[in-house]
């Protein structure tokens, strides 16, 4: 770990390389021990980052996964869209687990608020799309970002104002929302939730000045990516994408950090591939293999509980993600999920027309769960990792071998 840490600069980003759920949360939880500040830049409660510590499962949606470490300062950035009741619920859940966060949580005034009506619009729009539905998480993400882009949104700074102003805002929006989507804005209950949040969150409001202050004080910052590169609104498989910029550049924009500050970027990719929601998936497995991977990998959405579509690693996607984000190295996760596979197909090239060229890698048919040294991996598993390194031209520095915090190989 020391070698990996010394190779990282003062600001490091952990970014998903596929369609999300790669295990970013676990990587951040492990690295957070060695950082001063953990920052979330974009997205909202569509994220679900699961970590398991001493057998206890924690699911993070808005707070970064590094929050369990009591020494870290936690920052929610301007690119985020925040559902207030979910944030309060997460704060309470942490407290119930014995972790206090209010004294070290900092929320930028510029992040946008996700109201209940955004969630209802999300559901209404999905239903209107019919066969063209995106398969969103129904957390109001698209409608909240749409309000932001059309300059109709309300930002977290509103918490420092009066509840009467928010009521006025909701009253002004309600008729057009009803007309366009058939959604009734429940003004009383929205205001009630807002006032509840005001009581707790107002003292936590800050701005990018806080982040820059930490940087000036040489505090080490870890950026936790949410969603992933192939879900990026500009570079992902549009329209089956989320509504934010999920790349390293998007994270810097979302935080208000200059691009040149990012000296290290870790790409997180599963040893196979999953996707939840609709959209193209060139290396999607057949039904039998998909079921195997899903059951072994626990591939059900941590937010929506939806079964994730499962398939095989796709090298062109890794190259694409590495290019866009400027990855320095990989964290390949969940290699243990492949333990029972006889043969592991890998998509190595994609021809025009979307035809995938495959390479079949031999399986290792033995348990890798909990292995923490590269040399202890079976030869075939080592070869699998070396193959990824060769094909992508990037070193694999971290290899996940289980859900638990300690189940990670740090490779030199
Ligand atoms: P994220 O959204 O990228 O943080 O990933 P999720 O938490 O949504 O999904 C990853 C799932 O795989 C979670 O249930 C993790 O606990 C689990 N996980 C992470 N790394 C590993 C690993 O190396 N092996 C196994 N078996 N599970 C892992
Ligand atoms: P984490 O951070 C996996 C997917 C949804 C849907 C599309 C749009 O846990 O990796 P949205 O609700 O954002 O409008 O849905 O994006 N999606 C994710 N898939 N992991 C995520 O986050 C996701 N966040 C959004 O399934 O296909
Ligand atoms: Mg997830």
Q: How far is the CA of 155 from the centre of ligand 1 (A)?
A: 31
pLDDT at 78 over 90: yes
Ligand 2 atom having least distance to the Cα of 16:
10
Contacts 24+ apart (CB under 8 A), 172-175: 173/117
Give the distance, in angstroms, between the CA of residue 176 and the centroid of all CA atoms in the same chain.
32
β-strands 329-333, 264-270 pairing: parallel
* Residue whose entry in the numeric block shows the structure tokens 């559902």: 83
pLDDT given for residue 352 in this prediction: 83
* CATH class in words for 112-205: mainly alpha
Closest residue by CA, ligand 1 atom 18: 403
User: Cα of 233 to ligand 2 centre, how many Å?
Assistant: 11
Euclidean distance between CA atoms 54 and 192, whole angstroms:
37
Report the run of H or E that residue 269 belongs to, with start and end: strand 264-270
Q: Looking at the CA of 80, name the nearest ligand.
A: 2
* Annotation says 314 is catalytic: no
**Residues 74 and 62 sit within 8 Å (Cβ to Cβ):** no
Give CA separation, 407 vs 30, 55, 69, 272, 396, in Å: 10, 12, 18, 18, 16
Q: Is the pLDDT of residue 263 over 80?
A: yes
What average pLDDT does range 204-233 have in this prediction?
97
Task: Please give the distance of CA 215 from its chain centroid, rounded to a whole number.
Answer: 23
Structure tokens at 162: 């009066």
pLDDT band at 29 (very low <50, low <70, confident <90, very high): very high
pLDDT at 146: 98
Taking residues 42-64, what's their average pLDDT? 96
Q: CB neighbours of 335 closer than 8 A, spacing ≥ 6? A: 271, 368, 377, 381, 384, 385, 399, 400, 401
Residues 6+ apart with CB under 8 A from 131: none
Average pLDDT over residues 3-29: 95
Residue 312: alpha-carbon gap to chain centroid: 20
Closest ligand to residue 299's CA: 1
Bridge-based pairing of strands 56-60 and 37-43 is: unpaired
Residues 6+ apart with CB under 8 A from 215: 10, 11, 221, 257, 261
**Cα–Cα separations (whole angstroms), residue 145 to 49, 255, 332, 384:** 21, 16, 31, 40
What is this structure's pTM?
0.97
pLDDT average, residue stretch 206-215: 97
User: At 1, is the pLDDT very low, low, confident or very high (cuts 50, 70, 90)?
Assistant: confident
DSSP conformational letter for 71:
T
Cα–Cα distance for residue pair 79/17, rounded to 1 Å: 19
- Mean pLDDT computed over 275-282: 93
Catalytic site includes residue 147: no
Mean pLDDT computed over 376-402: 98
Mean pLDDT of 270-296: 96
Cβ atoms of residues 359 and 345 within 8 Å: yes
Return the structure tokens found at 356. 């995938």
Is the predicted pLDDT of residue 353 greater than 90, yes or no?
no
**Most distant CA pair in the chain: distance in Å?**
66
pLDDT of residue 309: 96
Between CA 275 and CA 385 the distance in angstroms is: 22
Query: 98 forms bridges with which residues in the sheet?
Result: none
CATH 1.10.300.10 maps onto the chain at: 112-205
Residue nearest to atom 26 of ligand 1 (CA): 402
CA distances 289 to 102, 157, 292, 301, Å, are 44, 48, 5, 18
Residue-level pLDDT at 302: 80
Residue 324 has pLDDT above 90, yes or no: yes
CATH 3.40.440.10 domain extents, the chain: 2-109+206-410
pLDDT-based confidence at residue 108 (cuts at 50, 70, 90):
very high
Where do the DSSP E strands lie in 302-384?
A: 309-311, 329-333, 343-350, 356-362
pLDDT over 90 at 303, yes or no: no
pLDDT higher than 90, residue 27: yes
pLDDT value for 56: 94
pLDDT recorded at residue 304: 80
Q: What confidence tier does 34 reach under pLDDT thresholds 50, 70, 90?
A: very high
CATH of the domain spanning 2-109+206-410, picked from 3.40.190.80, 3.40.50.2300, 3.40.50.2000, 3.40.440.10: 3.40.440.10
pLDDT at 320 over 90: yes
**Tens digits of per-residue pLDDT, 130-165?**
999 999 999 999 999 999 999 999 999 999 999 999
Pocket test for ligand 1, best of 14, 17, 23 (most atoms within 8 A of CB): 23
Query: Beta strands of 312-404 (E only): which ranges?
Result: 329-333, 343-350, 356-362, 396-400
Measured from the Cα of 303, ligand 2's closest atom is 9
Report the chain's mean pLDDT, rounded to a whole number.
96
Per-residue pLDDT, 74: 98
3-state helix, strand, coil in the chain (%, to 5): 40, 25, 35
| pLDDT, position 379 | 98
Question: 188 CA to middle of ligand 3, Å?
Answer: 32
Q: How far, in Å, CA of 46 to CA of 27, rounded?
A: 19
Residues framing ligand 2 (Cβ under 6 A): 16, 19-21, 46-49, 134-137, 139, 141-142, 226-228, 231, 240, 242-243, 276-277
Residue 354 pLDDT: 82
Confidence (pLDDT) at 9: 86
Which of 29, 49, 58, 232 is catalytic? The answer is: 49
Q: Is the dihedral of CA 358, 230, 255, 43 positive or negative?
A: negative
Neighbours of ion ligand 3 (CB under 5 A): 21, 48
**What does the pLDDT read at residue 2?**
85
**81, pLDDT greater than 90:** yes
Structure tokens of 158? Answer: 């509103």
């Amino acid at each position: 770990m020391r070698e990996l840490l010394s190779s990282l600069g003062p600001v490091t980003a952990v970014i998903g390389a596929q369609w999300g759920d790669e295990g970013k949360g676990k990587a951040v939880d492990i690295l957070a021990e060695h950082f001063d500040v953990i920052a979330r830049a974009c997205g909202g409660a569509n994220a679900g980052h699961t970590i398991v510590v001493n057998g206890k499962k924690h699911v993070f949606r808005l707070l970064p996964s590094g929050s369990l470490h009591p020494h870290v300062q936690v920052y929610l950035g301007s690119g985020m869209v925040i559902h207030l009741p979910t944030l309060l619920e997460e704060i309470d859940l942490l407290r119930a687990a014995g972790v206090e966060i209010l004294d070290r949580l900092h929320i930028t005034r510029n992040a946008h608020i996700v109201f209940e009506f955004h969630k209802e619009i999300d559901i209404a729009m999905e239903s209107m799309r019919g066969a063209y539905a995106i398969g969103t998480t129904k957390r109001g993400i698209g409608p909240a970002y749409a309000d932001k882009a059309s300059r109709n949104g309300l930002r977290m700074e509103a918490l420092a104002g009066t509840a009467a102003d928010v009521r006025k805002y909701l009253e002004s929006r309600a008729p057009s929302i009803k007309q366009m989507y058939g959604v009734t804005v429940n003004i009383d209950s929205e205001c009630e939730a807002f006032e509840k949040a005001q009581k707790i969150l107002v003292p936590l409001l800050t701005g990018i000045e806080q982040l820059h202050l930490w940087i000036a004080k040489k505090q080490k910052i870890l950026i936790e990516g949410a969603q992933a590169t192939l879900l990026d609104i500009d570079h992902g498989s549009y329209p089956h994408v989320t509504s934010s910029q999920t790349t390293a550049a998007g994270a810097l924009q979302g935080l208000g950090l200059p691009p040149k500050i990012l000296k290290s970027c870790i790409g997180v990719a599963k040893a196979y591939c999953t996707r939840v929601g609709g959209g193209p998936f060139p290396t999607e497995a057949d039904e039998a293999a998909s079921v195997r991977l899903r059951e072994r990998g626990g591939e059900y959405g941590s937010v929506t509980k939806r079964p994730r579509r499962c398939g095989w690693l796709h090298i062109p996607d890794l190259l694409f993600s590495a290019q866009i984000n400027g990855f320095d190295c990989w964290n390949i996760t969940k290699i243990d999920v492949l333990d029972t596979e006889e043969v592991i197909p890998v998509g190595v090239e994609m021809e025009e027309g979307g035809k995938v060229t495959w390479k079949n890698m031999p399986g290792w048919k033995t348990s890798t769960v909990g292995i923490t040294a590269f040399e202890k991996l079976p030869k075939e598993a080592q070869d699998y990792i070396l193959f990824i390194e060769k094909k992508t031209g990037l070193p694999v520095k971290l290899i996940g071998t289980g859900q638990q915090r300690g189940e990670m190989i740090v490779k030199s």
